[in-house]
């Protein structure tokens, strides 16, 4: 938790110099807070207080509000509004979409609608008037009686104005820093987009070049494979032609030999009866009739 009216008390908190400026206690008041969040986006949120004091309150919010950021607090039921500054931010609990912040009013007052506020909630002017009214015989026109309260009121007013000016100056500085940060972010995003476009163009050109090279390599490989396939086919066809011619020649030779053998056998068959029926031309083999009988 940060420093402020809702900061955790230390061991020396009971001393007069460290004592709280006003009593703090639990009180639920429906309020509306508005302003700009950590991203400089305007917001308006209905919420309620958890703890209240004359100088500020703690409440829950869904918006990202940082220490030192200004916001407006409205109590619609009471019809009052006041400027405030965030003095503490707590981390949201697990599973919760809200977190607790503590705010300090720039002009302390009872904006929470507490009907019976503690005595230390009274303003300096009210305390002074009560002191004057409690003195017997004291005249309201007495210069000494009016000078001290007027001086104290002037000091209180001057202090409140100084706090308000300091808060406005801090808010102006924060707004300037936010605008500068937003400008730097826009320039960085623009430069990043330009570099990304350059990288995309280079990548596209490299992709096209690689694609052309890959297509050319594929074409070359396909042509080489086609040529090799054609050459292999021609060799295979030539070998097959030689084998067929060889087989055909052998078959023709075997057919011719077989035909000659058959022709000889046929000729022999046809000529055998004629050879047997022809007279014997050899005189030794002739038979003469026997005359001596």
**pLDDT band for position 172 (cuts 50, 70, 90):** low
Q: Which of 103, 91, 73, 72 is nearest to 7 (CA)?
A: 103
CA 126/CA 229 separation, integer angstroms? 112
pLDDT, mean of residues 167-186: 72
In a domain, 172, yes or no: no
In a domain, 288, yes or no: no
- Number of independent structural domains in the chain: 1
Evaluate whether 133 touches 125 at the Cβ level (below 8 Å): no
**pLDDT band for position 7 (cuts 50, 70, 90):** very low
More confident residue, 88 or 176: 88
CA 55/CA 104 separation, integer angstroms? 6
CA 72/CA 85 separation, integer angstroms? 8
In a domain, 238, yes or no: no
pLDDT, mean of residues 46-56: 94
Evaluate whether 102 touches 20 at the Cβ level (below 8 Å): no
Q: Where are the beta strands (DSSP E) in the chain?
A: 25-26, 30-36, 42-52, 56-61, 70-75, 80-89, 99-105
pLDDT of residue 127: 54
DSSP character at residue 163: H
* Site of tokens 């300096």: 124
DSSP character at residue 18: T
pLDDT of residue 180: 75
pLDDT of residue 42: 94
In a domain, 177, yes or no: no
In a domain, 47, yes or no: yes
In a domain, 228, yes or no: no
Total residue length of the chain: 293
* Site of tokens 């940082």: 66
Q: Which of 119, 87, 124 is nearest to 106 (CA)?
A: 87
State both tokens at 143.
């210069």
CB 1: neighbour CB atoms within 10 A? 14
State both tokens at 228.
């090799």
Ranking 17-26, 36-45, 99-108, 140-149 by mean pLDDT, the lowest is 140-149
* Site of tokens 């400089």: 40
pLDDT of residue 231: 84
The angle, 0 to 180 degrees and rounded to 10, between the axes of the packed helices 143-277 and 124-134 is 160
In a domain, 58, yes or no: yes
**pLDDT band for position 83 (cuts 50, 70, 90):** very high
Residue 52's domain comprises: 1-114
In a domain, 73, yes or no: yes
Burial class (CB in 10 A: 0-12, 13-18, 19+), 152: middle
DSSP character at residue 136: T
Ranking 44-58, 113-127, 184-198 by mean pLDDT, the lowest is 113-127
* Site of tokens 């987009």: 193
Degrees to nearest 5, angle at CA 73 with 39 and 3: 70
Give the CATH number for residue 64.
Answer: 2.40.10.220
């Amino acid at each position: 938790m940060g420093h402020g009216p809702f900061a955790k008390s230390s061991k020396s908190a009971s001393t007069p110099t460290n004592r709280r400026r006003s009593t703090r206690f639990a009180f639920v008041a429906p309020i509306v807070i508005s302003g700009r969040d950590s991203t400089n986006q305007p917001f308006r949120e209905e919420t309620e207080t958890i703890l209240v004091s004359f100088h500020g309150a703690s409440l829950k919010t869904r918006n990202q509000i940082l220490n030192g950021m200004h916001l407006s607090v409205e109590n619609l039921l009471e019809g009052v509004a006041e400027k405030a500054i965030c003095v503490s931010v707590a981390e949201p609990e697990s599973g919760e979409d809200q977190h607790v912040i503590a705010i300090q009013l720039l002009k302390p007052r009872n904006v929470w609608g507490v009907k019976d506020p503690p005595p230390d909630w009274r303003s300096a002017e009210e305390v002074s008037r009560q002191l004057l009214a409690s003195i017997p015989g004291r005249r309201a026109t007495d210069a000494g009686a009016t000078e001290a309260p007027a001086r104290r009121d002037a000091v209180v007013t001057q202090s409140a104005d100084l706090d308000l000016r300091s808060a406005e100056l801090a808010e102006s500085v924060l707004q300037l820093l936010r605008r500068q940060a937003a400008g730097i972010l826009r320039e960085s995003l623009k430069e990043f987009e330009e570099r990304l476009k350059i990288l995309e163009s280079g990548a596209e050109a490299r992709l096209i070049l690689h694609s052309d090279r890959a297509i050319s390599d594929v074409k070359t490989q396909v042509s080489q494979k086609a040529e090799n396939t054609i050459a292999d086919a021609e060799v295979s066809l030539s070998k097959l032609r030689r084998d067929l011619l060889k087989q055909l020649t052998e078959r023709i030779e075997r057919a011719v030999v077989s035909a000659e053998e058959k022709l000889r056998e046929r000729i022999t068959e046809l000529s055998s009866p004629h050879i047997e029926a022809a007279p014997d031309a050899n005189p030794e083999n002739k038979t003469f009739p026997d005359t001596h009988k």
